[in-house]
Structure 1
Amino acid sequence: MTLTVTPHREAVGLKDGLLHVDGRWRPGREGRTWTHHHPATGEAVGSFAVAEAADVDEAVRAASKAFEAGPWPRTKAGQRIAVLLRYAALLREHAEELKRLQALDNGVPLSFGGIYATSVGIAADIFEHHAGWIDKIGGQTLPAHQGGDHLAMTFREPIGVVAAILPWNAPFVLFAQKLAPALAAGCTVVLKPSEYATFCVVRMVELLAEAGLPEGVVNLVTGPGDPTGEALITHPLVDKISFTGSRAVGQRIVRASADTMKRVSLELGGKSPAIVFPDAPNIGLAGMTAMGMVTVGLSGQACVAHTRALVHRDVYEEFLGAAQMMAGAVTFGDPFDPAVLASPLINERQLGRVLGFIERGQQQGARLVTGGERMDGDYGAGNFVTPTIFAEVDNSMEIAREEVFGPVLTVLPFTEEDEAVRIANDTDYGLGAGIYTADARRAFRLARRLRAGTIGINGFQLEPHVPFGGFKQSGLGREGGRSAFEDYTELKTVLMPLTDEMM
């Protein structure tokens, strides 16, 4: 039977999306809209306004006015805490609605939308965590270095207007990772979601007003990178850009930020290794976990997925067998069906890109163990690719070096620990890594040697209170925890004499 999401659209009450500028919902000035087609069915899901340069300018100026003259940066700590806690409660109250809106946006199945790391629950926890920092982050009083009777003090103040740009694959957690610390610090925000995950973000912005956030503090501009994103990253009144997405766009943002010295936080993807030693607690589980990270839920469209499995030669075939078993267990179809475990690729462009990587992987000599095909029949209208495993991969091959962003696992053999570390670090990226071993000393030894931002030992998960980000071309800065809060502040020094004498 041909897949359709139309009944779910009507059941959730989906309506066309508008811009949210200075507390008002309105269409774009030029009336242009974007029609979103569902990645699993090709059906038109709904439309939303496209913000042109003039719309973005109005949104940024509203945020600037709210920062310079509005109450939020000067709101008492207790009141700001209360708003963020009310918002976290509203997220939990509307979790099922938001999860269904996401399934209409990006095709992520409900079964995966409830997993903690991608759920509304972790977003609520992130807001609660950062609310807790509001009355705890302060400056210092420093002793006079040169003697004399004076004070040297530091203060943390909000950085200003933040441009927060979200990807499509994990809108709940990334919405929270950007807005929670920004609002906690007293910043104002212009938010741009991906055109492939807009409807759930629109609803999350609506809930901010219910929580009591003043008008103009968070403004929403929707639309594609051109014109909406480009107008936002180049606007002279934006003080900081926080972006999660592709390396190419991140590089464009760095260049655009130079003219006005905007602060920048970037999370730009990865090619993360999972290193499996013969003494791993469970080789089969390691193989299923690695394959699950690139198939279940997002079908490998996750920046931190461990897409390179570095497996000791003694357990190489056992690992491959378990990974292949996991590949065969993944189910596709209607994202609202609780039995469905994986999503389609987000659009036809990404579908063609992934299939191109698979074709070139075979041409370059890697052995295709399973998968590598576009699904047809009842799935033919969607962007589905079968779970794919490549063996006998060399780290110089394109599929081992480039971020495929699809359900593709490359399995590379190694013999010695030093060899594994060398291969793992031989990449332009450095976002995450996994280590599978029963030897605690080896685990910590490798965790210190690997050039990556987050290391999982015998498993991997996201937490709402820890820093997340990457080394090398995986980005700049961190999201989560105290470091994220501080990244939305500027540090000011004040020198004050305590006598009539000049310092």
Structure 2
Amino acid sequence: MPLTVQPHRETLGLKDGRLLIGGEFREADETWTHHHPATGEEIGSFAVASAKDVDAAVLAARKAFDEGPWPRSRAGERIKILRRYSDLLREHADELRGLQALDNGVPLSFGQIYATSVGIAADIFDHHAGWIDKVGGQTLPPYQGGDHLAMTFREPVGVVAAILPWNAPFVLFAQKLAPALAAGCTVVVKPSEYASFCVIRMVELLIEAGLPEGVINLVTGPGNPTGEALITHPGVDKISFTGSRTVGRRIVEASAGTMKRVSLELGGKSPAIVFADAPNVGLAAMTCMGMVTMGLSGQACVAHTRALVQRDAQEEFISMAQMLAGAVTFGDPFDPAVLASPLINAKQLERVLGYIERGQEEGARLVTGGTRLDGDYASGNFVAPTIFADANNDMAIARDEIFGPVLTVVPFDDEAEAIRIANDTEYGLGAGVYTNDVRRAFRVSKALRVGMVGINGFQLEPHLPFGGYKQSGLGREGGQSAYEAYTELKTVMMPLTDEMM
């Protein structure tokens, strides 16, 4: 029988979403109706913030920054509120996972995996709360002149526009808002129109944690008009965005007029380099195929969608990847037996199917998958897990970020060739290296032009920087570097005598 998620909507008590501006929840003149990607059903609606609404939200954040208590609050007060929020996230984890399943169709089974869970979001807030009383400036010895003090201070950057994608709202909400709030900034957050309900609830919990009025503001809606009004607003001091390169370039252009600070994470075409001496070639294959098919169905920026496999290991790698592809289950995201999500919308479905067709036209061998699921799944945006073999790095399926359940296997002969192929890309987000040779593991890791490398595995951690080289973006999220990215560095000099410096 056809899928439906309507009973879960009623169980969760889903309400239509409103804007939050200056501590007040508001309606808007227009609304967005959200359709579930697994069923096509209408789930609910939320306010579409106009340019006027965005202006009001930025002005509220500006007032809270310029006049309010948050940027001037004591470290202990900020720590207390952020840690109270961490506790609230953990208390409401089941509810938030359910809302996400209604938003983007990510199954509850995947929402419990640490890297995409509410738990990692809570840990990120805990982590950044810990930096509040530890990151400061320096007192430096005089370099020349008379007796004086030379000092530096770190101060919050100001009003932050945090723009989220739909695929991993928990972790990305935390990666942007936790360091911004810890540093003393005020925020206007815009979730994706395809994952707003869980973010709306996360914002409500921030208010419950005790965040002062105007420090957090919420504007919902699509890129036009909502996102465009936010990135071009002169009252915004910093933009933090995760999403496509096209939008990232537009943000860089829009930021130039007022020299906004910018942090961008713009995706990747991450290689997994599997040498024949890997500790377990089969496990490497299952790791790569799992990243491409389980949970988000390959709709993840850091997924290792290019498998560079040494020729002697190809047969075993492809066999194990194909076996895992056959074990992936689809359906109701609230069913614990379901392991993978639909593609987010019809546009993305057509895009992925177009790449699969192009891969075959360019001469890659389709091992498995490549089709849209029908029958009970016909109303959803489901694509079968897909593997291409005998590919080369000049093919579109090896160069472009497909953002779907497609793994492209490219053979190599030796270490030098593997490094050359891995670096032959416009992206530079992440990579994996699978080998039993420790020296080779570090040698290859150093040679790769990427921001993150996993050796014989890959894991996200709250305290590690996340981000990439080249066109994968600007800046890092996670760890001390993320906290500092939401601050400005000020130099102060003061003589200690009546003599001039």
Question: What is the TM-score of this pair, normalised by structure 1?
Answer: 0.99
The within-5 A match list for 1:193-232 is 193-232=191-230
Match of 2:245 in 1: 247
Structure 1: segments with no counterpart, 5+ residues: none
Match of 2:372 in 1: 374
The within-5 A match list for 1:37-436 is 37-436=35-434
Counterparts of 2:220 and 2:431 in 1: how far apart (Å)? 34
Per-residue deviation, 1:43: 0.1
Counterparts of 2:412 and 2:360 in 1: how far apart (Å)? 21
**Preserved contact between residue 146 and residue 499 of structure 2 (Cα < 8 Å):** no
Match of 2:8 in 1: 8
What amino acid maps onto 1:313 in structure 2?
R
Deviations 1:85-124 (A, max 9, x none): 0000000000000000000000000000000000000000
Aligned match for 1:479, one of 471, 477, 480: 477
What amino acid maps onto 1:13 in structure 2?
G
Per-residue deviation, 1:147: 3.5
SS in structure 2 of the partner of residue 155 of structure 1: strand
Taking every aligned residue pair, what percent have the same amino acid on both sides?
79
Deviations 1:417-457 (A, max 9, x none): 00000000000000000000111111011110001111000
**Preserved contact between residue 75 and residue 132 of structure 2 (Cα < 8 Å):** yes
Deviations 1:334-356 (A, max 9, x none): 00000000000000000000000
Aligned CA RMSD, in angstroms, stands at 0.4
Structure 2: segments with no counterpart, 5+ residues: none
Counterparts of 1:439 and 1:378 in 2: how far apart (Å)? 47
Q: Aligned pair count?
A: 501
SS in structure 2 of the partner of residue 46 of structure 1: strand
What amino acid maps onto 1:446 in structure 2?
V
Q: Which runs of 4+ in 1 moved over 3 A?
A: none
SS in structure 1 of the partner of residue 294 of structure 2: coil
Counterparts of 1:355 and 1:333 in 2: how far apart (Å)? 19
Deviations 1:452-498 (A, max 9, x none): 11100000010000000000000000000000000000000001111
Which range moves more in the overlay, 281-290 or 121-130?
281-290
Counterparts of 1:200 and 1:325 in 2: how far apart (Å)? 34
Which range moves more in the overlay, 91-100 or 284-293?
284-293
SS in structure 2 of the partner of residue 373 of structure 1: coil
Counterparts of 1:167 and 1:440 in 2: how far apart (Å)? 37
SS in structure 1 of the partner of residue 233 of structure 2: coil
SS in structure 1 of the partner of residue 247 of structure 2: helix
SS in structure 2 of the partner of residue 357 of structure 1: helix
Per-residue deviation, 1:262: 0.2
What amino acid maps onto 1:293 in structure 2?
M
Counterparts of 2:313 and 2:203 in 1: how far apart (Å)? 49
**Preserved contact between residue 100 and residue 198 of structure 2 (Cα < 8 Å):** yes
Per-residue deviation, 1:209: 1.0
Question: What is the TM-score of this pair, normalised by structure 2?
Answer: 1.00
What amino acid maps onto 1:398 in structure 2?
A
Counterparts of 2:247 and 2:48 in 1: how far apart (Å)? 19
Counterparts of 2:470 and 2:449 in 1: how far apart (Å)? 8
Counterparts of 1:289 and 1:486 in 2: how far apart (Å)? 33
Per-residue deviation, 1:502: 2.0
